[in-house]
Structure 1
Amino acid sequence: MGKESYWYIANFLENCIAQKSHKSGKLLHARILRTGLSSDTFLCNRLIDFYSKCSKIRSARHVFDKVPERDIFSWNAILSALCTANNLIDAHMLFDEMPERNVVSWNNMISAFVKCGDAMKALDFYTIMISEGLMPTHFTLASVLCACGILLDVDFGRKCHGLALKIGIDKNMYVGNALLSMYAKCRYIADAVKAFADLQEPNEVSFTALIGGLGDTENVGEALEMFKLMHRTRICIDAISLSCILGICATGKSGGSGLSHQNDSLLAKVNGQLIHCLSIKLGIDNDFHLMNSLLDMYAKNADMGSAERIFYILSIPSTVSWNIMIAGYGQNYQIGEAIEFMQRMECSGVAPDEVTFINMLSACVKTGSIEVGHQVFDKMPCPSLSSWNAILSGYSQIESHKETITLFREMQCRNVNPDRTTLAIILGSCAGMELLGCGKQVHAVSLKFSFHNDMYVGSGLITMYSKGGKMDKAMLVFNRLPELDIACWNSIMTGFSVNSLCKEAFVYFNLMRGRDVSPNQFSYGTLLSCCAEQSFSSQGGQYHCQIVKDGYINDVFVGSALIDMYCKCGDVEGARHLFDSFPSKNTVVWNEMMHGYAQNGCGEEAVHLYHYMIMSGGKPDGITFVAVLNACSHSGLVDEGMKIFESISSEHKMDPLLEHYTCIIDALGRASRLQEAEMLLNKMPCKDDPIIWEVLLSSCRVHTDVHVARKAAKKLLYLNPQNHTPYVLLANIYSSLGRWDEARALRELMSEKRVGKDPGFSWIEHKNGKDDSHVTRSK
């Protein structure tokens, strides 16, 4: 065959490769066979490349196996074909068989490992390549830097950066973008910004990488400004760029400063809407990936109406689309809609995946629909660790600790190994139930899986031992932790507080400050609780100054703890002055101030504050009514208390709780209005609770009303025959009236029925705080 015919075939083959024309290429292959050119190495190499581009790997391998004289290009062609098809096992075997390897061979393998997610193997191959004296190209370093970004290995990335500078390829666009992306993923944002500035002509990849890095490091304002710059400089904005910036808008942060969370979320949503408009203007709003990003943005900004409109214009919603909607409804406490969407998802033929179940579980946990969550969990064929953690967390949050521990045991029976989150949840349940023995078993599990030195688990262990009264073991765990975060310090200080070891809590607070660990609102809350318990008003005042200095004075948790501390120390005026200084007050702060007035016998002030709260637009809750009714009871404001009690259902559309009935019956009893108290008690829905009958019986003792006292005592004995309270109180009433025979008969009946009375104690502690306290016991 002449040269012209040879080059005609070669050129025609190139066209088939470029157009991926499989049919034409096969016809050309047949002609090559007929004309006796099947032994030509160059044409065979091009045929291997052709079949690879058409995804016909078996045909490419068949051609390779028939090449009589293979050169380096033959080997690289088939290696590239195997790597492109993600057939790494065969590619690795072929790589080892190669008689000769060049940079292209190594690049193929390194790039393939990165694409398949084995970034560590890619770095290993790169290290061997360098040790063999081969010089990397811009393709090599681009792949290796990508692997560094996946592994968050900034040190290895810096070495590659240094090598790129040394051999002069740092200005290459591929290398420059890879450097920028690596620093951004590793959250070294200053280095990423410098890498961006070093680029001669940044493109859409450069901008998108930097915007993503800025968003990940919460530099939201800078990310939005970078996107505006991208738009102004007419850089090509594609669906990937828009999806990246929409992800930032989905965080609910606007990039502004000094804004409330509500305003911040509103501006984030507005920015997202502007991006949505831009996508329509650019004509790429139908891109499937972009549509899912829009769904996610609207759902996370609590605009489910807009999310629904986008969802319904999707031609075929993917599993991701359904998952975003289910998660969005869950985040916005719309559990009914979340359940409906999951049912519709299954009816449409889209099978729920692990993310679907986890989103549904999270929705159930957030809305407190834990029974529905358990039904969802039971549908899962093989729950993952994340799913176990979600259902365990749900039961733990509603304080159903027994169910939490039972589920954990079932998880162990299924051979699902726990992680730090699992152990922390279970330790919280053990602490909630004060199950020290169970907590010790969990401690043993943490040792088995080497989580005992984890700060998260360590904090849970400290809390568990503290709640069980074993402060020596809690301190042992604390002292053995290699690193301590604020949660660990708070746990040990709270442990001292709940065990009435307030001085030790103060000592550890000073130790924490000495180690340059900044206290947070929970640290101060614990210390103020200690000061309130011990009536340390002067020390509480010192912490008040530190709170102001550290900027926590407007925190609701700290503010309510300060009010409680001042009130328990008897400084009601100081508490009110602090209360009035708060720029915004939520229900917790109002309740704390009312409760403080009640504790100090300032009933009228508590009632005035309650009315002021209503006038100011505050919404009372169950605790509010307990505080104000308790204040009315102890200050003799019975009529005012009755009006407030009646307003619970008439004005505030709430059902009175047992605590509310207890407070108002106590108020009526103190005012000797026992008949009214008895009538109200008989009308209430929870009349079988012994506490409320004990309150009524105690009032009868004060006012020596034998008639009502007998009824109350009879009811108490019916509810619990072994309760000594009705015997003792009724006998005391008889004794105070001089009815000794009846009092003696009651005490004899107690002995006959073997009803015991708990002995009383009086405790006198010396001012020097030593342990030589005197205890006297009376029966």
Structure 2
Amino acid sequence: MSLHVSKQFSSMRLSNHYCELLKHCGDTKKVHCNIIKALRNPEIFLLNNLVNAYAKNGSIIYARRVFDQMPLRNLYSWNTLLSSYSKLGRLPEMKRVFDAMPTRDMVSWNSLISGYAGRGFLVQSVKAYDMMLYDGPFNLTRIALSTMLILASNQDNVRLGRQIHGHVVKFGFQSYVFVGSPLVDMYSKTGLIFCARRVFYEMPQKNVVMYNTLIAGLMRCGRIEDSRQLFYEMREKDSISWTAMIAGFTQNGFEIEAIDLLREMRLENLEMDQYTFGSVLTACGGVAALQEGKQVHAYIIRTDYQDNLFVGSALVDMYCKCKSIKSAESVFRKMTCKNVVSWTAMLVGYGQNGYCEEAVKIFCDMQKYGIEPDDFTLGSVISSCANLASLEEGAQFHGKALVSGLISFITVSNALVTLYGKCGSIEDSHRLFSEMIFLDEVSWTALVSGYSQFGKANETIRLFESMLAHGFKPDKVTFIGVLSACSRAGLVEKGNQIFESMIKEHRIIPIHDHYTCMIDLFSRAGRLEEARNFINKMPFSPDAIGWASLLSACRFYRNMEIGKWAAESLIKLEPQNTASYILLSSIYAAKGKWEEVSILRKGMRDKGLRKEPGCSWIKYKNQVHIFSADDRSNPFSDQIYSELEKLNYKMVQEGYVPDMNSVLHDVEDSEKIKMLNHHSEKLAIAFGLIFIPPGLPIRVVKNLRVCADCHNATKYISKITQREILVRDAARFHLFKDGTCSCGDFW
């Protein structure tokens, strides 16, 4: 657009300018008023008005063209253009206009400082601030001071904050509430809460903003009672005050107090916003308060916030944490607008509730809608693949992490280290760990747990000691991994030592999982009497896994006395748990006490209990093939059973003898052999031998522990076929190679 402006411009020319502006602005009434003013009094301030109108509407190009052709410019003209560039973040143009200004005032300096500060340019902001003071302290305003304090707060720069505080006092701004609030906020966010309180109490006048700022600051620092007292001291509280308290309670683990405070807020008839609802929904999810969460949901519907993106995502998250996955799905489907946060909330919810396949599916659906994942989303879906032991899909997400650059985020890298560890590719897990630029406690724990589950006890312990040497603090999960490794390798003394160090040196109070590891440690090593003594000294009774570990060891070592005690304790704890009946039956069967076995089975039938059927699965060409014992439902069953017959013949020639103790039925030996030959893991392995190309490992997953016979048979199969067979059962990984297993026959 060519524009010519002179001192004597026509009314029609100025009218055309405003007609052009009307194309860019929907506020017809405002433009009309400006046109009338211009036609009546065409002076310089009207051209300034035109520049300002263009700039406010975002049409900075037109504003600049008018400015460049103005015959006269005053300070207001320059400041209008400068402020426009500052607000739009167009910093190079802002600086050029500022340098070209013939004169400057406090508005000019504020625009320059705010422009740099708003974009986080600390060095340039401080330089501009110093230049302003050098030009003259009269330029200093409360706006400049508050801008610099906010910048210091966002940058966590205590030194700069203290320097600005000094200027506040020196130039007499300490009584200004507008400056006091960001000063309190700066000290709070940088952890100097005592300085924040001092500033607050020295202020002669305080408004609700200052109260809210200090309350929020006392909450990040964990001073719950101080913030509560200050809150109830307030004469006037607004919605922000209540929301700050609710959010603070939630963030500091006082979820019940947050929910109670919402009830009080409702009694005050105060308006709630998305942040109020988001905080209280987080509190409901944190303590699985489903009924309270539903009540909040009902109130959200009445206040027309159900279509709010932030609130909808919080609702999905709350229902997922309360294990009400159907309600979460319902809210998610009804959301008219979804972003990466809402998709991630549903994805994480699926993963946390055991619906890992659905988590992977919804990730793919999210991408179909053009929503790109962030590091948390990608890390979460990789974790779901890890729980599924789905190496192929996990490797695809690894590729996406590399292409997108999200591999640089520690959340994604940690998830990949866990994935490869849980899928049995411990070398890949360690390689990824070694390539990470930044490591944290989660990184070390992921690798420690991977080696532990793989049964590599010595490597696990070395890693743990290296973690300590590098100054990282182990947590409860780290110790579970190390103690499990000691248990699986029979390192009783070492495990005892680590358990004691956890309590005495690292000040970690043991939870059920740690005690279960110790019970398993004694039990697997055959030190059943020590296991019993350890249980009797525990501060609480073992959980079901602990009793089952002891009972399983009693079956292996055929200790009927302690086994009966463990079984009775397990039945009392979980009457519907079939493990106690099955394991005790195994002990009786091994001793030839078939009458007792029969009584136990009758008891199970009378109580309507059924043993969880064993099943194994293997993935081939993106399809999962599931097998149960004597299963002939697979379309390739004839080939599978034929392959097993050939293998059995070769195994017997190599010296394989079926383990009859793995059969808990009083039948003839020939029938027992037939039953053993068709266990689910053997069917899955035979399928893998037929279809998985040579040179690639055969990966099988089983929902229960591998029985002694299948474990022994798989060693023979690996030797005969010269194939690597990786079996992940309920206890650990077993890598069979050349007739041996990585577990050392200790599982």
Common fold: TM-score over 0.5: yes
Matches of 2:416 and 2:588 in 1, distance apart?
A: 42
Give 1:142 shift: 0.9
Question: 2:504 aligned with 1:549, yes or no?
Answer: yes
Alignment check: 8 A CA contact 1:180 1:193 kept: yes
Write the letter of the residue equivalent to 1:275. Answer: L
Q: Deviations over 1:381-405 (max 9, x none)?
A: 1422333333222212222222211
Give 1:119 shift: 1.8
| Alignment partner, residue 232 of structure 2 | 231
Write the letter of the residue equivalent to 2:392. Answer: K
Question: 2:551 aligned with 1:594, yes or no?
Answer: yes
Write the letter of the residue equivalent to 2:517. Answer: A
| Alignment partner, residue 141 of structure 2 | 137
| Alignment partner, residue 730 of structure 1 | none
| Alignment partner, residue 703 of structure 2 | none
Q: Deviations over 1:577-598 (max 9, x none)?
A: 3323322543233323333444
Q: Deviations over 1:204-261 (max 9, x none)?
A: 22222233233334x1xx3354244233331x3222222222223434722xxxxxxx
| Alignment partner, residue 578 of structure 1 | 534
Matches of 2:494 and 2:553 in 1, distance apart?
A: 19
Write the letter of the residue equivalent to 1:183. Answer: Y
| Alignment partner, residue 338 of structure 2 | 352
| Alignment partner, residue 150 of structure 1 | 154
Q: Deviations over 1:15-72 (max 9, x none)?
A: xxxxxx9969965874675367x25x6x987898899899998998798678755333
| Alignment partner, residue 339 of structure 1 | 329
Distance 1:683 1:55, change over 3 A: closer
TM-score by length of 2: 0.69
Matches of 1:533 and 1:351 in 2, distance apart?
A: 50
Distance 1:721 1:517, change over 3 A: closer
| Alignment partner, residue 275 of structure 1 | 261
Give 1:618 shift: 3.9
| Alignment partner, residue 373 of structure 2 | 384
Matches of 1:233 and 1:601 in 2, distance apart?
A: 70
| Alignment partner, residue 313 of structure 2 | 323
Question: 2:561 aligned with 1:604, yes or no?
Answer: yes
| Alignment partner, residue 622 of structure 2 | none
Give 1:324 shift: 1.9
Distance 1:568 1:95, change over 3 A: same
Give 1:309 shift: 0.7
Where 2:372 maps in the other structure, the secondary structure is coil
| Alignment partner, residue 173 of structure 1 | 177
Write the letter of the residue equivalent to 1:341. Answer: V
Give 1:374 shift: 3.5
Matches of 2:282 and 2:674 in 1, distance apart?
A: 63
Question: 2:216 aligned with 1:212, yes or no?
Answer: yes
Matches of 2:224 and 2:303 in 1, distance apart?
A: 29
Matches of 1:320 and 1:314 in 2, distance apart?
A: 15
Write the letter of the residue equivalent to 1:562. Answer: M
TM-score by length of 1: 0.66
Alignment check: 8 A CA contact 1:276 1:285 kept: no
Matches of 1:170 and 1:657 in 2, distance apart?
A: 74
Where 1:583 maps in the other structure, the secondary structure is coil
| Alignment partner, residue 95 of structure 1 | 98
Matches of 2:430 and 2:494 in 1, distance apart?
A: 36
Give 1:124 shift: 1.3
Matches of 1:176 and 1:31 in 2, distance apart?
A: 41
Matches of 2:679 and 2:29 in 1, distance apart?
A: 94
Alignment check: 8 A CA contact 2:181 2:209 kept: yes
Distance 1:486 1:549, change over 3 A: farther
Write the letter of the residue equivalent to 2:437. Answer: N
| Alignment partner, residue 455 of structure 1 | 439
Matches of 2:195 and 2:580 in 1, distance apart?
A: 53
Question: 2:409 aligned with 1:419, yes or no?
Answer: yes
Alignment check: 8 A CA contact 1:602 1:635 kept: no
- Which of 343, 363, 371 is the matching residue for 2:349? 363
Write the letter of the residue equivalent to 1:561. Answer: C
Distance 1:707 1:86, change over 3 A: closer
| Alignment partner, residue 244 of structure 2 | 244
Matches of 1:432 and 1:356 in 2, distance apart?
A: 28
Give 1:519 shift: 4.7
Where 2:304 maps in the other structure, the secondary structure is coil
- Which of 300, 303, 317 is the matching residue for 1:314? 303
| Alignment partner, residue 612 of structure 2 | 656
| Alignment map for 1:752-771 (pairs within 5 Å) | none
Indicate the RMSD between aligned Cα atoms, in angstroms: 4.9
Structure index of larger Rg: 1
Give 1:305 shift: 1.3
Q: Deviations over 1:449-483 (max 9, x none)?
A: xxx33214xxxxxxxxxxxxxxxxxxxxxxxxxxx
Matches of 1:31 and 1:507 in 2, distance apart?
A: 82
Alignment check: 8 A CA contact 2:479 2:514 kept: yes
Distance 1:497 1:622, change over 3 A: same
Matches of 2:443 and 2:184 in 1, distance apart?
A: 35
Matches of 1:547 and 1:757 in 2, distance apart?
A: 45
Write the letter of the residue equivalent to 2:142. Answer: H
Matches of 1:531 and 1:296 in 2, distance apart?
A: 38
Distance 1:375 1:131, change over 3 A: same
Distance 1:559 1:128, change over 3 A: same
Alignment check: 8 A CA contact 2:259 2:283 kept: no
5+ long unaligned stretches in structure 1:
1-20, 255-267, 457-484, 661-680, 724-754, 759-779
Distance 1:307 1:87, change over 3 A: farther
- Which of 108, 116, 128 is the matching residue for 1:105? 108
Give 1:144 shift: 1.5
Matches of 2:468 and 2:497 in 1, distance apart?
A: 15
| Alignment map for 1:436-585 (pairs within 5 Å) | 452-456=436-440, 485=441, 488=444, 491=447, 495=451, 502=458, 519-522=474-477, 524-525=479-480, 528-529=483-484, 532=487, 537=492, 540-550=495-505, 551-552=507-508, 554-580=510-536, 581-583=538-540, 585=542
Alignment check: 8 A CA contact 2:386 2:423 kept: no
Percent identical among aligned pairs is 17
Paired residues, what number? 621
Distance 1:206 1:652, change over 3 A: farther
Q: Deviations over 1:483-528 (max 9, x none)?
A: xx585388469849967664x8767767766777655445544554
| Alignment partner, residue 34 of structure 1 | 40
